[in-house]
Amino acid sequence: MPNDIKLLSDLINMDDAKAVCDEVRHINSLMYSKTGCKLFDDVFKKIYYDIVDLFKGKWDDYKSCNTEYHDLMHTTDVLLCFARLLHGAAIKKIKISEEAAMLGLISALMHDAGYIQKKDDGTGTGGKYTLSHVERSVEFMRNYFSRIGCPVGYVEKCTDMIMATSLSSKIEDMKFETEEIANVAKMLAAADLVGQMADRVYLEKLLYLYKEFQEGNVAGFTDELDLLKKTVGFFDFAKKRLSDNLGGVDKYLKYHFKARWQIKDNLYETAMKNNLKYLNRIINDSEENILNYLKRGGIVQRWHQIKLA
């Protein structure tokens, strides 16, 4: 891999569900080569494509995802970041069984399923579930596992992992079944933060996040520009949560990039720093010009159309 690779988006096409699945499987094979990825192929792969279909509206009893911040791309971003964390941890001799890793991957897939509306839910969007989406995700997971006949033990382990992604969760007070499950839960919670904040269009997608917050009655923001400004403080919050509550597990990412891609830098850390630097730059300009700086993905133009509709 050339050393001039600087962006996460240069590595994997995140718009391609198969490419993401193939990369996660490859990472899994680096950790569990002796078992030949049997659990991945026999269990995870089916669940992966089931969840992709869920977000795309291919289930009989669910609508397609209609939250544009917490969308399928966010889920696959978190999934891949989590897989990379697992690999980095394995390189540093942190013992995670193949089963625990698989349950973590499944939890990553389902951690935001609570935003998806059932077809008989006729009001608003999934954004209205912002404050309850974690519990709804756990409920979805329990129902899904019951339907496909997963072992009972999977439910409790995945419940703990998904609950750890809540920003209000106090990881230090949670009672995990084992230290291994606690480590996996911390890595998933870290991936949920890092995966979204390193997104190349993170700043633009904050406009969508405000819309979800508004519908979900999340207090503390007067408008989209206020959310953008307060995101500077959220970077500080995320940094503290990663280092203090989650044990600094994000440090394992750099070992993955070195081993998998021969890249010496943690590309997630680089992307987050670049996003924060750019955010600080634009909020120091006049309010009328802030949105002129957000040009990626055509998101601002679409946001304007939504507001005019």
In tens, the pLDDT along 109-165 reads: 999 999 999 999 999 999 999 999 999 999 999 999 999 999 989 999 999 999 999
Q: Write the CB contacts of 147 (distance below 8 Å, at least 6 apart in sequence).
A: none
Tokens of 126: 């999934």
Cβ–Cβ under 8 Å, residues 164 and 185: yes
Q: How far is CA 294 from CA 64, 202, 222, 227, in A?
A: 27, 10, 20, 14
Cβ–Cβ under 8 Å, residues 96 and 183: yes
| Cα radius of gyration rounded to whole Å, the chain | 19
Q: Collapsing DSSP states into helix, strand and coil, what is residue 32? A: coil
Vertex 271, ends 267 and 273: CA angle to 5°?
120
DSSP 63: P
Q: What is the pLDDT of residue 64?
A: 98
Sketch the domain layout of the chain as residue ranges. 12-308
Tokens of 214: 């508004």
CA count, 13 A, side-chain hemisphere, 217: 5
Q: Collapsing DSSP states into helix, strand and coil, what is residue 45? A: helix
Cβ–Cβ under 8 Å, residues 55 and 64: yes
Domain 12-308, what architecture? Orthogonal Bundle (1.10)
Q: What is the pLDDT of residue 1?
A: 45
Rounded Cα–Cα distance for residues 95 and 89 (Å): 8
User: Smallest Cα–Cα separation from 200: which of 147, 130, 268, 146?
Assistant: 268
Q: Going residue by residue through the chain (309 aa), what tens digit of pLDDT does each one get?
A: 445 667 899 999 999 999 999 999 999 999 998 888 889 999 999 999 999 999 999 999 999 999 999 999 999 999 999 999 999 999 999 999 999 999 999 999 999 999 999 999 999 999 999 999 999 999 999 999 999 999 989 999 999 999 999 999 999 999 999 999 999 999 999 999 999 999 999 999 999 999 999 999 999 999 999 999 999 999 999 999 999 999 999 999 999 999 999 999 999 999 999 999 999 999 987 666 788 899 999 999 888 777 766
Tokens of 67: 């939250």
Phi-psi category of residue 242: left, alpha or beta, with phi > 0 → left and psi -120 to 50 → alpha: alpha
User: Smallest Cα–Cα separation from 101: which of 170, 9, 32, 160?
Assistant: 32
Q: Write the CB contacts of 102 (distance below 8 Å, at least 6 apart in sequence).
A: 39, 40, 43, 44
Rounded Cα–Cα distance for residues 141 and 158 (Å): 8
First-to-last C-alpha distance (Å) of the chain: 46
Rounded Cα–Cα distance for residues 167 and 30 (Å): 31
DSSP notation for 189-244: HHHHHHHHHT-TTHHHHHHHHHHHHHHTT--S-SSHHHHHHHHHHHHHHHHHIIII
Rounded Cα–Cα distance for residues 84 and 140 (Å): 25
